[in-house]
Amino acid sequence: MCGIYFSLSASGAVLPNEETCCLLRKRGPDNYHVHSVEQKIANTRSSNEAPIAVQLTFVSTVLSMRGGCLVPQPLVDPTTQSVLCYNGDAWKISGEPIQGNDAELIFKLLLQAVNHHSKTTSSADSSTSAVQGVLDVISSISGPFAFVFYDAINSKLFFTRDSLGRRSLLQGADESGAFKLCSLCDGTSSTHFSEVETDGMYMIDFEHAIFQDNSFAAKSAGTPSFDASCIQTLLWEHNASDSPLRPRNPIPPMNKTIPEGEAPSLTVETVAVKELEHRLRQSLALRIQNVREPPTTSSGSNVKVAVLFSGGLDCTLLARLSHDILPKEEVIDLLNVAFENPRVAAAAAGRGGTTGSVYESCPDRITGRAAFAELQRVCPDRNWRFVAVDIPYEETLAHRQTVKRLMRPHNTEMDLSIACALYFASRGQGLAFDSRNISAQPTQYTTSARVLLSGLGADELFAGYSRHGAAFSRDGFAGLIDEINLDVSRLGKRNLGRDNRVIAHWGREARFPFLDEEFVSWVVQLPVWEKCGFGTPPPPTDSPEAGLDSEKKGLRLVALRLGMTNVAREKKRAIQFGSRTAKMEKGKVKGTDALT
C-alpha cells in the first residue's frame, strides 16, 4: 500500500498541505520521498513567446509489503528521467505469478515499452506506439492498482485505477490553478476533488497541453493554470486487440444463458461448486502466502493476516480457507467490531430491556462469536484469535471528523456509517480471545497484521442481496441476470476508493479474494443457476443442502463442503446495521442524506 500525490503547476513545485502529508505518511509509514521534474509547454497565448516551464511534483509514501527489502518511491529512471508512483499489488502479469517487488517490475516493463517504440518506429508513429505499449503493460496486470506514470521520452503523463476500483485516486485543482492527483483529498473541505473514474486510462500529452488564465487565482498571481479539458480518456475494451489505443478490460461479458425448462439442482457434488472452491482457494493463496513479517506491536503480536470478521458467510469462508493455506503455527486474527449506539440503547431501555453489554448484543458480535466457535470446532489445530473491537459512543465522536476527512469526497450518512465501521475494525485494537486459551481473561491487544481480508464482492457476484430475489420474482431468470450484470458492471464505481482511504489510514492493506480478475471472469461466465439457488429444485428435506437460502447458494455449498454447517445458513446483513453504526443519533434519517 502506498500514498500517491502529484501536482502540475506553472508557478513552481506545489506540495501537499501539512494535513494531507500527515495522512499520506499514515498510509505509507515505511518511506516518504519527493521528486520534481520541469516540463516545457508550448505557450498557447502567443507563438512568439517562450515555452512555459511547468513543474511536475511527485510524492510517494510506502507501506512495504512485497519483495525482500524496502523499495522507495517515486521510482525514477536516471537515464530518461521517467517517473512512476505506484500503489497496488500485481499478483500476476500476463497470467504469470510474480515474485519480488511488483512496482519495480512494472516500471521496468513501462520503460521497455516506451523506449522500444521510440527506437523502432518513425517519429510520426513513435508517440502513438509508445502509448499502445503503456496500455499493453497495464492490460497485463492482474491485481489492484492506482498509479501516475510520467513518460519523459514522449512527454506524456498517464494515470488510472484498476477497472474494479480497488485503490483510491482522486483528481482536483487548488485555488492557484494547480492540477492534482492524490490518494486523498488535498486542500480544504471546499476544494473540489473527485474520484478518478475506472472506465479507462487517462493521459496528458504535454505537446498539446493547454495552460490559460482562466481562474481568479491564476490571474492575480500572473501564472496560467492547467486546462483539464485536454486530458484524454482511453476507454477499456473487452477486445482491445481490435481497437487501437484501448486498454483491455479483464472482465468478459456476463453469461446471459437462460435454462430450457427447469434449472438443474445445485448440490455439494455439483462440478461448478467444487471448481468454485478450487478457484477461490487459488485467489486467496496469492494474497496470503509469502507475506513479510510485520513490525511487532506493543501487544507483542507477530500476526501476518487478519480477517475483517462479522461472522457472516463471506468472511468466515475466507478464514476457513486460510486455515488450509497458512502454516498451522500462524495465528489468524478475526477483527470483529461493535459500537455503542445511544439511540438503540435508549430504545431498549424504554422497552425495559436487559442491562447486558451493548457490544455483545450487536448482531455482528453475536454472529461473530458463533462463527468463531464453529471455526474452533472445524479447525481445532489452529489458534484463532477473536478480537472484540468495542467502540464507545464518545470514541466514535472523537474520531468522526477524521473519518469524514478520509472518506471525502463521499459525504452521506451511509458513507459515514460504513466508513466508521471499517475505520475502527481495521485499527485492530480490542480485547483478544485466543482459541488455545479460551478460558483465560481477555487481554488488551492490537493486531500486527498488515494484510486484512475482506469478503467484499461476493454479494454482487453470487446474488446476495434481497433485490436479487425480488428481480427473480418479478422477471424470472432474465431479470435476475440483468440485476447481477448491473452489479458487476458497476463494481468499479462502488465505494472501494472510500474504503481504501479509511482502512489504509492504519498502515494496513485490505485484500479482496472475491475480486480477483481471474476469479470474477470465471464467475461471470457461469450460468446463473450455478451461482445461486433461484429457480432450482428444492433439495430433499433430509439432505445436507436442506434449508439453504437461494442467495449465494454456490458459496453456501462450499461452506458445507468445508464443514461449516451453521455459517452456510447465515443471513446477509449490512455492516452498518450489524455493527450498529447506522442512525446513532436520529432514527428518521436516510442513508443518502448529505452530511452537514
Closest CA to 64 of 112, 108, 111, 31: 31
The answer to whether residue 85 is catalytic is no
Crossing angle between the packed helical segments 313-325 and 553-561, to the nearest 10 degrees:
40
Which uninterrupted H or E stretch holds 405?
helix 393-407
Which one of the listed residues 2, 21, 185, 379 is annotated catalytic? 2
DSSP strands (E only) in 175-264 = 179-182, 193-195, 200-205, 211-212, 225-226, 232-235
Alpha-carbon gap, residue 399 to 423, rounded angstroms: 9
CB 93 within 8 A of CB 141: yes
CB 63 within 8 A of CB 25: no
Alpha-carbon gap, residue 305 to 326, rounded angstroms: 9
> What pLDDT score was predicted for residue 220?
47
Using the 8-state DSSP alphabet, how is residue 383 labeled? -
pLDDT along the chain (596 residues), means of 10: 92 92 95 94 66 92 88 96 96 90 95 77 68 94 97 96 95 89 84 90 90 56 78 82 78 94 92 98 96 80 94 97 97 96 77 74 95 97 97 96 94 92 97 89 94 96 95 96 94 89 96 97 97 93 90 97 95 77 70 76
> What pLDDT score was predicted for residue 99?
81
Domains of the chain listed by start with CATH number: 2-235 (3.60.20.10), 271-288+305-579 (3.40.50.620)
> What pLDDT score was predicted for residue 46?
56
> What pLDDT score was predicted for residue 216?
45
pTM here is 0.93
